[in-house]
Structures are given as C-alpha cells and as structure tokens.
Amino acid sequence: MKILGIETSCDETAAAIVERDAAGRAHILSNIVRSQFEEHAAFGGVVPELAARSHVTHLDGIIARAAAEAGMRLDEVDAIAATAGPGLIGGVLVGLTTGKALAASLGKPLIAVNHLEAHALTARLTDGVPFPYLMLLVSGGHSQFVLVRGVGDYERWGSTIDDALGEAFDKVAKLLDLGSPGGPHVEKQALLGDPKRFRFPRPLLKEKTLDFSFSGLKTAVRLAAEEIAPLSDTDVADICAGFQAAVAEIVRVRAGQALERFGDGATLVVAGGVAANKAIGRALQQEADVAGARLVIPPMALCTDNGAMVAWAGAERLALGSVDGMAFAAKPRWPLDSADMGLTHGH
C-alpha cells in the first residue's frame, strides 16, 4: 500500500509518500519538507498565525512535489494520512482539512494521525523495530518516556513537569543571543567550552521518578550569565558546555532508570529534534551499553517533523483496518496515552 502523509503541526510544511510492502517493510518514495525558519526568525519563536498562513500558501505545492518525486498521480495512493494533533491548532487544521478534501475528492480512506504516534513509530519505518520498545521523545514541545506496546497502545512512564528539553535549549540560546533554532547553536558553542567551569543543577535527579524538570536549570543558566555579564565568547561557550553536560547527565540517568524498569532485551528508541544532539546521543549509548539494550536513533531528517513519519503511522493503522471519518476534529492537545488513541474502524 502507498500512503500520502501530510504534516503541518508546527512550522514545517511537509508531505511524503511511503509504501508499506507485503512483508511490512517501508519504502520512502518521496519526503518533501519546507521549513518556515526564515519567516519566524525575526520573532525569536514560532508565531502561530504566520505558521498557519504559510501552510495554506505552500501545502498544495508540496503535496504536488511529493507525488511528482514518487513518480505517481495522487489518485494512485491507497489512503491519505494527515496529522490531526497535537500542535498549533491553526496549522493542524490546514493539514487535516486538506487531507479530508483529498480523501473525499479521490474516494480514499482518511487516517487522522497523532503527531506523537508518528514519532513513536518512526523506528519501525527506519529500522523495523519490533514491539514492545521504550521511546524517549525529546523535542521542542515534548520530553517523555513512553512504553510502546503496539499501534495505538502506549503507556507514558514519565514526562516534563515544566519545560520540554528543546524549549530549554531554545531559551538558553535566546538568553545568550545565539539565534534560533537554539539546539544546534548551543551544541556548537558547547564543543568550544569547558563543561566543568559551571556546575549547573540537575533537577529531580535524586527522585525516584521518570519525570523531567528543566526550568530550574534554565534559571541557573540565566543567573550565572547575569552574574558575569558582559559575556566574552569564552563565557558563552563555557555556559553552553555546562548546560549541555547537565542535560546529558539528566537524560542518561533517567534512561538508565527506564531501561531498568523495562527489563531484559530492551530497545530504546529516541525521537524528536533533540535526538540530533551528539552529546545526548553518546550519553544514551553509554547507558544502553550498561543495560545491554539496543539504542535506535533514526536519521535526523526523520527525527524532526516530516511527512514520511505521518504516512508510515497511517500505513501501520490502515494495515490493521483503522480508518477515520470526515467528522474527526483537530486536537491542540492529544496525549499518546489517552483513551482515544485506540484503533478506529468507522468510515
């Protein structure tokens, strides 16, 4: 089966066509992503109204490009999958409405995809990881450990009680005038700095919980920067190195606890944009090695928001006979462990 996936939950306008073969293996036929980075740069963050307007302007063209790159006509796909939440509601509405219009006009089934489920299933798209497995989702909006038992079957083991990890990176970058997106800038500076100069706190680390907290760490970074202002290039690099060292240790310790809870034969899958951070990747590999677990980090282009992951989540659901009706409503909030994540069989 060949599925068109549409993703518009934040500031990437994306569409892809993915094929799921008879053996359940994935083949990405096209994957087009248009970042709105330039459009939001002046505002220091994503402006929801601007994002939605940009999706409206560009989505049709991106879908057409995805079909052209796959060497197909749109009426040759077997189903339309579109992100239906969670995310910025204006953007989600654009993608879901477009998906509904295409499904109706082409007479194809519609699959309303949870954006977090698309991230959760990416390791099956890239590495064919069997259920069950443990997922660490670290992005601009989410930081959570989830037990992935099967399609539509998730148990959240821990999440952030304040900021998401990607958000913490962005705020530190903004504080230090490094530009956005913050993660890559902070990582680049951290490579030049001394991680031992600033010993930042590791919130909640002594607690027996799988939850995260990053706001106290962010405050400590701000206070350290204010205390020695004006900052030299060395100061900036050292602060970034200290912040990244704290974050990597928090994630490493939490991952160790989660793997211990999972037990033998664990696979730990990392998803979301923060998965690109090499220091965090190394820390997780170290912990996986200790636990005798397998660590899977999909290629970067498939960790950040994209249409291929949405198409694949649609393919996994369609293979189990799950489709959605035209009345399906966009959801700004839609936790993975909510009751309405189960498989639907209505038209």
Q: What is the pLDDT of residues 153-211, one digit of tens each?
A: 999 999 999 999 999 999 999 999 998 789 999 999 999 999 999 999 999 998 999 99
- Phi, psi of 19, deg, nearest 5: -105, 135
Say whether pLDDT at 234 is over 70.
yes
pLDDT of residue 42: 80
CB neighbour list of residue 324: distance below 8 Å, 6 or more residues apart: 84, 110, 111, 112, 344, 346
In this prediction, residue 24 carries a pLDDT of 93
Tokens representing 270? 């990392």
Q: What is the average pLDDT across 216-226?
A: 97
Average model confidence (pLDDT) for the chain? Answer: 95
Residue 301 neighbours by CB under 8 Å, 6+ apart:
31, 33
Q: Which helix (H) or strand (E) holds 156?
A: strand 153-159
Single-letter amino acid code for the residue at 159: S
Amino acid at 308: A
Q: What is the pTM of this model?
A: 0.95
Percent of the chain with pLDDT over 90: 91
Domains and CATH numbers, the chain: 2-123+302-341 (3.30.420.40), 131-300 (3.30.420.40)
Contact 272, 303 (CB under 8 A): yes
> For residue range 128-150, what is the model confidence (pLDDT) as tens digits?
999 999 999 998 889 999 999 99
pLDDT for 347:
47
Among 28-32, 67-71, 340-344, the minimum mean pLDDT is found in: 340-344
> For residue 97, what pLDDT is reported?
98
pLDDT for residue 41? 80
Closest CA to 52 of 1, 88, 16: 88
- Residue 306 predicted with pLDDT over 90: yes
Over range 306-335, report the average pLDDT.
Answer: 97
